[in-house]
Amino acid sequence: MKPDLEDIDGALSELVIETVDTPVVILGADGSIVRFNSASERLTGYFADEAIGRKVWDFLIIEKERDTVKSIFEKTQGENTPTHFTNFWKTKDGQQRRIEWSNNTIRNKLGDVSYILATGIDVTDQVATEFALAETQAYLRSIIDACPVAVITINEQGLIQSFSTEAEHCFGYREAEAIGRNVNILIPEPGHSQHDRYIKHYLETGEKKIIGRARPIFAKRENGEKFPAMLHVSEFKDGTRIFVGFVEDLTHQRMTERRLEETQFQLQHAGRIGAMGEIATSIAHELNQPLTAAASLAGAVSLNLKKTDYPETKDAIELLEDVVGEIRRASEIIRQMRDFIRKRKTEKSLHRVNKVVEEATAVALIGAESAGIKLETDLVEGLGELQMDRIQIQQVLVNVIRNAVDAMQETTEKRLKISTSRIGGFVEIRVEDTGPGITDEMMKRLFEPFATSKESGMGIGLSISKTIIDAHQGKINAINKESGGCVFTINLPEGAYDEAAKRR
């Protein structure tokens, strides 16, 4: 049998109201305070004597919520079930505390409202913590979404827990489509069917195979396309174990690498062809004179023999005439080869100057990092396009840049500067180094075939370069800097761009 509790003014009720550490307020039917417990005093700074007899909305409720509180108070009086709401209490020193209230109506024997019992919970700090947590989560999410690589988190079962904006762009799934699904949807075979086994093995043994390491993989987009990627995996524990994957799409990087490889191959091929042409031209020039002399001498011998009356000379004369014919035929072959080489045409089309320079620089500096070369570039914007043979111009640039790198091998300061500008109707490309410079003797013969200061050099690179620049109606020059080092300048006429732009 339940014990009989005393009425609202009884000792037991008083003990309960004063013991609880949450605000308890009893209001009269008109909203005036008739009971204000100790927790309410501590919360608001008002003593009970200061609060009792005053209407709660006259001093504890902030102005913008007064009408709402009055409306809820009236609603509570008309119902026999508790009402719940949240509002701010204004403390004596002007602070605002957020309180969650539960209100209940106490009626007399006639059913009329005697009191409203309001019990509250101060959730100010909780709300602030939740708000701070939400802000932190939003901040972290903004950082993750700003990350240039895809960020994906999964749980121990391999199910996706979060999917960054870059992950959406990279894989083609929307976040809502990806969350809750197994991460193996992003992995092509054979990893697709084995991924769950990898996770299970790690959880059972603790043996790390990919965690904490960068690993090249192939990933799979939503449309089934496979692409090269770099995967970094880490883990953290917050009650549960979470794995974080950072996936970098290497598609464009691989395309750039292939383009550089193709450009390097084309440049090497063009260099070999150019070198052969220069060598052939030089050989043709050098051989043509002795062949002409040999033909003349053989012809002279034949004429002298014809003046004699010896019958034995008849066969010799015929042989000498054959010799002269063969020599002249060889000379004609060499002349035709030289003319063919000289008349070869460059294949010009529109190309962006800075792009051509960037590609040539990348190819020329492959492997130069180990030599300690520090690169500085100053490519002026707005240079636009020029009519040029891209491969040939890059061949020139690669040759000049590699010469600069070679020149700095024994110097303490290894600084290479490559710049572009527009000067007096020309687009100028400058390659500056901090090497020892060019000797006066070499400067005089710099662009001649077979002129070189390198022990293993052939001396045809700059000769070929000058031939190419001449074919572009441009200029190539070199000077020594007073501060040390050398500057090569390549000037290509702007007119080619203007005419090309008009035609286009």
Give the three-state DSSP class for 293: helix
**What is the pLDDT, as a whole number, of residue 464?**
80
Q: Is the pLDDT of residue 13 over 50?
A: yes
**CA 96 – CA 155 distance, rounded (Å):** 41
Give the residue ranges of DSSP H helices in 307-367: 313-342, 353-364
User: Could you say which DSSP state residue 369 is in?
Assistant: G
**What is the pLDDT, as a whole number, of residue 467?**
84
Q: Is the pLDDT of residue 501 over 80?
A: no
**CA 357 – CA 263 distance, rounded (Å):** 12
Mean pLDDT of 301-319: 73
Q: Is the pLDDT of residue 504 over 60?
A: no
- Lowest pLDDT segment from 81-95, 184-198, 462-476: 184-198
**What is the pLDDT, as a whole number, of residue 276?**
61
Q: pLDDT band at residue 476, thresholds of 50, 70 and 90?
A: very high
Give the three-state DSSP class for 249: strand
**What is the pLDDT, as a whole number, of residue 478?**
92
Q: pLDDT band at residue 343, thresholds of 50, 70 and 90?
A: very low
Residues 112-151: tens digit of each pLDDT: 888 888 888 888 888 877 777 777 777 777 777 777 888 8
Q: How far is CA 448 from CA 106, 234, 396, in A?
A: 112, 60, 15
Give the residue ranges of DSSP H helices in 408-460: 440-444
Mean pLDDT of 158-186: 88
Is the CB of residue 141 less than 8 Å from the CB of residue 161?
A: no
Please give the backbone phi and psi of residue 256, each rounded to the nearest 5 degrees, phi first: -65, -45
**What is the pLDDT, as a whole number, of residue 329?**
66
For 150-181, the three-class secondary structure string (H helix, E strand, C coil) is EEEEECCCCEEEEECHHHHHHHCCCHHHHCCC
Q: pLDDT band at residue 286, thresholds of 50, 70 and 90?
A: low
Residues 248-280: tens digit of each pLDDT: 888 887 787 777 777 666 666 666 656 666 666
Burial of 98 (0-12, 13-18, 19+ CB in 10 A): middle
**CA 398 – CA 420 distance, rounded (Å):** 15
Is the CB of residue 163 less than 8 Å from the CB of residue 173?
A: yes
Residues 366-401: tens digit of each pLDDT: 767 667 888 999 999 888 889 888 888 888 898 899
b or e along 46-57 (b: 16 or more beta carbons within 10 Å of the residue's beta carbon)? beeeebeeebbb
Tally of helices (H runs) and strands (E runs) in the chain: 16, 17
Q: pLDDT band at residue 10, thresholds of 50, 70 and 90?
A: low
**What is the pLDDT, as a whole number, of residue 420?**
94
User: Could you say which DSSP state residue 65 is in?
Assistant: G
Give the three-state DSSP class for 420: strand
**CA 384 – CA 494 distance, rounded (Å):** 10
Q: Is the pLDDT of residue 495 over 70?
A: no
**What is the pLDDT, as a whole number, of residue 210?**
64
Residues 78-107: tens digit of each pLDDT: 777 788 888 888 999 988 898 898 888 888
Q: Is the pLDDT of residue 65 over 60?
A: yes
- Lowest pLDDT segment from 41-45, 80-84, 225-229, 376-380: 80-84
In 3D, which of 91, 89, 90, 87 has the Cα closest to residue 100? 87
**What is the pLDDT, as a whole number, of residue 442?**
84
Burial of 381 (0-12, 13-18, 19+ CB in 10 A): exposed
Rounded (10°) angle between helices 251-306 and 353-364: 80
pTM above 0.75, yes or no: no
**What is the pLDDT, as a whole number, of residue 5?**
42
Q: Is the pLDDT of residue 456 over 60?
A: no
Contacts of 130 (CB under 8 A, 6+ apart): none
**What is the pLDDT, as a whole number, of residue 491?**
93
Mean pLDDT of 348-361: 88
Is the CB of residue 248 less than 8 Å from the CB of residue 271?
A: no
Which structural domains are found in the chain, ordered by start? 11-122 (3.30.450.20), 130-249 (3.30.450.20), 253-342 (1.10.287.130), 349-503 (3.30.565.10)
**What is the pLDDT, as a whole number, of residue 4?**
45
Mean pLDDT of 165-193: 85
